[in-house]
Structure 1
Amino acid sequence: MRENLERLLTRAVSEAASLEDDLRALFEASRDSNADDEHDPEGATVGFERAQLTATLAAAHHRIADLRDALARHEAGTYGTCETCGRPIHPDRLEARPGARTCITCAAKRR
């Protein structure tokens, strides 16, 4: 399991770096332009793309934090144990959400 978590973390870090590059390029391109987002027909598209990249990057950073935390729990011997009820987290849940901290029953109660 540790190898899988490390592989997923490496992939997430790479994805975040790529998104950061894309966002930086978008900012640089819009900085060099004298376009006014509010009045330029293309401005809405640029604004939407910027918001979408920013949200996707935030999600990637959240995933990185979750995976780092999962690796720490693996090292501590608590990975796969629900933090709420103490029962094992089903392997299918861990496969779908490797950073899961709770079993599906406890996760459903939180909603």
Structure 2
Amino acid sequence: MLREDMVDDEGLATAELDELAALLQDRRAKDLGEAEHLAESLGVVLSARGESADDEHDPEGPTLSYEWSRLQALRGETADDIVAVDAALARIEEGTYGRCMRCDRMIGVERLRARPTAELCIACAMTVDG
């Protein structure tokens, strides 16, 4: 039996909710900082691409096209994380944070500490992932 099954159905204590909200706010601030850094890096690459006629044959390292693609992918991941954090913060405001969106059982504070944006309990997440 999963430890998750032993979590009571009463919800998170106020102190736990405050702790998790602070984790989410901190993560959001870091994501915003990373997004700003990535935007600056993309500007540098864009400028360099405009100056270079043939970056595909540069023996000095990764091509500018590769770097652009890499930074765009990181930017997308950061944007997705901001959306997930904002959704978790909205669930806190609505009073639904910590409840599985599939089965409506409590997710468990330890899982939320590890993955504060979790929307599913471990049992439901295992059926989705596995």
| TM-score bracket for the superposition, by shorter chain length | 0.7 to 0.9
Q: Unaligned 5+ residue runs, structure 2?
A: 1-19
Q: Identity of paired residues, percent?
A: 39
Answer with 36-45 or 25-34: which moved more: 36-45
What residue is the counterpart of 1:48 in the other structure?
66
Normalising by structure 1, we get a TM-score of: 0.87
Moved over 6 A (4+): none
Distance 2:34 2:82 in 1: 10
Shift of 1:32: 1.8
Higher RCO (Cα < 8 Å, 6 or more apart): 2
Match of residue 23 from structure 1: 42
Q: Distance in 2 between matches of 1:31 and 1:16?
A: 22
The answer to whether residue 84 in structure 2 is matched with residue 100 in structure 1 is no
Using structure 2 for the length normalisation, give the TM-score: 0.76
* Residue 3 (structure 1) aligns with: 22
Q: How many residues align?
A: 110
Task: Quote the RMSD (CA, aligned, Å).
Answer: 1.7
Unpaired runs of 5+ residues, structure 1, are none
Distance in 2, matches of 1:69 and 1:84, equals 16
Moved more, 101-110 or 90-99: 90-99
Matching residue's letter, 1:88: M
* SS of residue paired to 2:118: coil
Aligned AA for 2:107? I
Bigger drift between 99-108 and 39-48 goes to 39-48
1:70-81 map, 5 Å: 70-81=88-99
CA distance in 1, matches of 2:111, 2:50: 44
SS at structure 2 position matched to 1:17? helix
Q: Which residue of 2 aligns with 1:68?
A: 86
